Amino acid sequence: MPRVPSDDATSRAVVLRRPSPFDGSPAPDRLRLERRPDPEPAAGEVLIDVDACAVCRTDLQLCEGDLAARRLPVVPGHQIVGRVARTGAGVTGHAPGDLVGVAWLARACGECTDCVRGRENLCESATFTGWDRDGGFAERTTADAGFVYRLPDGIDPLAAAPLLCGGVIGYRCLHIAEITPGATVGLYGFGASATCVIQILLHWGCEVFVATRSPAEQDRARRLGAVWAGGYDEPPPVALDAAITFAPSGDVVVDALRAVRRGGIVAINAIHLDRIPQFPYELLWWERQLRSVANVTRDDVAGLLRLAAELPIRTETELFGLEAAPEALQRLRDGRISGAAVLDISGRGRPSRA
């Protein structure tokens, strides 16, 4: 997409207007790079100058229509790192110049049973970044100040962006799957989220077994410390205490269930999944469990960011300009992204690995 001339009162954004598959056919109305009036922060919101926004499979599913749009047009993107440009009325705790992050959960009611119990990810009134409100495929965006995270100065925005969804949802998966230090764990799919998860698992002294259809990703998993890597149809050499599936395929869920021992848990990391095929009850018997992982809480984000600084968690990225968002999504769909795709919106062009 061509770059748009600059204007002091406007900024560029990639806007989803009509979801359609990335199947190679022309789709000029799907995503457009547009220049729009700068968004204004409402009371309780902050305006952010976006440095980087990582590209998630959920963004792809929204753009293709697998995830039904809640509003159109909308700016996708929910792994945002940038600087506070201005604050709306009543905002405390954030000031212009602060380096901040924004994640998938845009707002929760704070009053329902789930919110009161610390499960705001299940709030029926929750709204989501890049789905219910404009996200980070833009030079400027706004966010609810209560769902904006202060990041340490000096962190590379390009490296931090993939932590805000892939890292955080992977972190939540570890708890949903009840993984403890020293466990044998399977990771089914090996993209951006699994890249963060394997580092936490190794920090906990776990043995990690990776299944992915990509020989290149199998090699990368071994380099990062997996004791075994193979295809989805290859059983790991040992029974697994737990498994996490990252591929949006019901067949893969059954493969993972087949690999866990009695009492094992399979956590499904997907907002959209194709049909899980019929399988014999014996695979689920002996108290094996299937658990879905839905969204994240603010505590999940805070916990992952603390852990990321402690380890530190290192991300592997491929950088794209804002105008190349459709290319990044196409390559993600085709399985041609190693690690995480990140839109380098500031144009700083830092090294692709951090």
Domain range enclosing 198: 168-292
354, part of any domain: no
CA distance 163 to 155: 12
Which pLDDT band holds residue 350 (cuts at 50, 70, 90)? very low
CB contact at 8 A, 199 and 223: no
- Which is more confidently placed, 88 or 271? 88
Same domain, 96 and 121: yes
* pLDDT of 96 above 60: yes
* pLDDT of 28 above 80: no
45, part of any domain: yes
Half-sphere exposure of 183 (CA within 13 A, CB side): 22
Render pLDDT for 42-80 as a digit per residue (tens, 0 to 9).
999 999 999 999 999 999 999 999 999 999 999 999 999
CA distance 171 to 105: 15
CA distance 68 to 347: 31
Strands across the sheet containing 289-292? 228-230, 207-211, 184-188, 240-245, 260-268, 289-292
351, part of any domain: no
CA distance 6 to 9: 9
3, part of any domain: no
CB contact at 8 A, 321 and 344: yes
pLDDT of residue 347: 86
Comparing 177-186, 250-259, 338-347, the range with the smallest average pLDDT is 338-347
CB contact at 8 A, 254 and 283: yes
Q: What is the DSSP letter of 277?
A: P
Same domain, 215 and 253: yes
Same domain, 155 and 177: no
Same domain, 110 and 216: no
- Tell whether the torsion through CA atoms of 20, 23, 25 and 26 is positive or negative: positive
CATH of residue 231's domain is: 3.40.50.720
4, part of any domain: no
Same domain, 159 and 189: no
Render pLDDT for 265-289 as a digit per residue (tens, 0 to 9).
999 998 888 889 999 999 999 999 9
pLDDT of residue 349: 61
| Residue range 295-305: mean pLDDT, rounded | 95
CB contact at 8 A, 274 and 250: yes
Render pLDDT for 202-244 as a digit per residue (tens, 0 to 9).
999 999 999 999 999 999 999 999 999 999 989 999 999 999 9
- Which is more confidently placed, 338 or 299? 299
What separation, in Å, do the N-terminal and C-terminal C-alpha atoms of the chain show? 28
Half-sphere exposure of 123 (CA within 13 A, CB side): 22
pLDDT of residue 62: 96
| Residue range 81-107: mean pLDDT, rounded | 97
Same domain, 90 and 176: no
| Residue range 322-345: mean pLDDT, rounded | 93
Same domain, 154 and 204: no
User: Partners of 99 in the beta sheet?
Assistant: 83
What is the number of structural domains in the chain? 2
Same domain, 131 and 226: no
195, part of any domain: yes
Render pLDDT for 149-185 as a digit per residue (tens, 0 to 9).
999 878 899 999 999 999 999 999 999 999 999 999 9
CA distance 345 to 354: 17
Render pLDDT for 303-331 as a digit per residue (tens, 0 to 9).
999 999 889 999 989 999 999 999 999 99
CATH of residue 82's domain is: 3.90.180.10
Same domain, 151 and 181: no
**Percentage of the chain surpassing pLDDT 90?**
87
* pLDDT of 336 above 60: yes
Which pLDDT band holds residue 23 (cuts at 50, 70, 90)? confident
Query: pTM score > 0.85 for this model?
Result: yes
Ramachandran bin of 296, using left for φ above 0, alpha for ψ from -120 to 50, beta for the remaining angles: beta
143, part of any domain: yes
Which pLDDT band holds residue 1 (cuts at 50, 70, 90)? very low
Same domain, 114 and 198: no
* pLDDT of 353 above 60: no
- Which is more confidently placed, 271 or 93? 93
349, part of any domain: no
The first and second tokens of residue 275, run together, are 């049909």
Residue 64, classed as helix, strand or coil, is helix
Same domain, 100 and 28: yes
Same domain, 230 and 121: no
Residue in 47, 61, 58 with CA at minimum distance from that of residue 100: 47
Residue 225, classed as helix, strand or coil, is coil
| Cα-based distances in Å from 203 to 91, 211, 316 | 37, 20, 18
pLDDT of residue 5: 42
